[in-house]
Structure 1
Amino acid sequence: MDFLIVTGLSGAGKSRAVDALEDIGFFCVDNMPPKLISRFAEIALQSGGKMTKVAVVSDVRGGTLFNDFQSELDLMQQLKIDYKLLFLDCSDEILLRRFKETRRRHPLIDQSDASLERAIEAERALLVPFRARADYIIDTSNMALAQFRERINTLFLENPSASMQINCMSFGFKYGAPAEADLMFDVRCLPNPFYIDSLKYKTGLDADVNEYVMAWPQSVLLLQKLVDLLDYLIPLYMKEGKSQLTVAFGCTGGKHRSVTFAEKLYAHFSEQNLSVSVNHRDISKT
């Protein structure tokens, strides 16, 4: 089990870290009282493999409960529960700006004479020992959201190229275009197997339909151009932190040409070791 404990300065991006971790398959719990961390870790270990990637966030929002954080980390070591500690840092100047922009209330503002500067200073002093024992430190001061997500993916994914889930979809325009499509390609420009009696009631999952669709030079050239385009676009989407991409191929009924192209792209992305799935929305409709 990968068990990650996240802490750090208020306003440094712990909520964004949770979002990024959830997108790569972590079971996340925010604002957990320190005393519950070891108990929760034991529950996760006893889940029978249902919880293999877990992240919990614990910080000064817990008030006096956070006083137990140090002893709880020590207890985790005594219990021989393997964990990693991620600390999120940020400059005072950026934190001041973020709190003023969001108008969020700092957790220590009441103990700091209503001074945001003093609250940040007090929290930083309180967190010194945890920053020192952190396995990972991310300074988010000048880090864009996409860069932050990329950093999380690099640290906690065995295969960072799997950070974005790609869904190859086929559909029929006669049933309406899919609202969830990020990229949509119309393949009705290609010869239609529907008009071949032996292929009419088959689908692009059948070898003879697949062979018919790809027997035409324009089909081969279109597929190559789409592969080239998507091979160029996908790394750009990943760099910007996109977690899901739906590539949809449409033909008239969603059974022949669109299915063939969705399957071809699915095979191509699978060979590149990307996280990809395929979905034929209208293949069973009459």
Structure 2
Amino acid sequence: MNAASPETRRPVLLVTGLSGAGKASILRTLEDLGFETVDNPPLQILPELVADGSAPLAIGVDARSRGFDAAELLRAVARLRESPGIAANLIFATAEEPVLLRRFSETRRRHPLAPGGQLGSRVTEGIAREAALLAPLREAADLVVDTSEMPLPELRRQIERRFRPENATGLAIGIVSFGFPKGLPREADMVWDVRFLRNPHYDPVLRPMTGRDALIADFVEADPTYAPFWDRMTGLIELLLPRYAAEGKKYLTVAIGCTGGRHRSVLVAERLASHLAYSGWRVDLIHRDMPSPPAPGGASAGREALAHSS
């Protein structure tokens, strides 16, 4: 009997991660995509949950789960990955310790592994204990989502782009602009460094603008290396995309970085997203580090939304 093709295998996602990092938000997004979701079931019933049904399934598992054991969960993931009818993925949500501390402080929630109380060193100790307990899962994860500086809409877009139902045909392309000081986007499949282009930051008139402004576009595109770089970059990407699609790849993230993540990388990302969309590709564009106007309800609205999730 032939193994099931990637298109016919049943998606089964195990969602785990640090408390306060966004696990519940990921599960809600998957539920909106049509996944059956179960949060924190006893580990011993995982085989029953997977065997009972045929719809896409998302299971939340963390240190609060009854009978939690990281090694046993990894063995369960390995068994799922070996199943010919299952497309299994392990998702790990994380965030930096100061961000988690702020979220627990804002919501006055108690950390599940804190020895007592909810403030100061006790929460820090709980975060450290949980991070150590879940470290093997993070290492084995198919996708690590760092929500430290990620507003809730961006988290939803990233999950939707990667795990949207199979009937949404074709290769989904994510274009992400970013600044190198904050690190590479973890989800990147392809990274382009555009720090060699002329930098508008050193012009006091241009500095407050972003790569979406016409003056920034004129400035950067006047760099004599811009045009040959653009031709070679788009030529290579256009060569590779059909091959990725032919291999059954469902998503591809192209990251474009510069020093600050607001001028050169934003411009190139905008141009590339428009270019690929005009060519008929399904494209999602995110500017990770470009400043944006405060969200309704205050600048911390996005963080607070994530703070309510675990």
The structure richer in helix per residue is 1
RCO higher in structure (CA 8 A, sep ≥6) = 2
TM-score scaled by length of structure 2 = 0.46
When Rg is computed on C-alpha atoms for both structures, the one with the higher figure is 1
TM-score scaled by length of structure 1 = 0.50
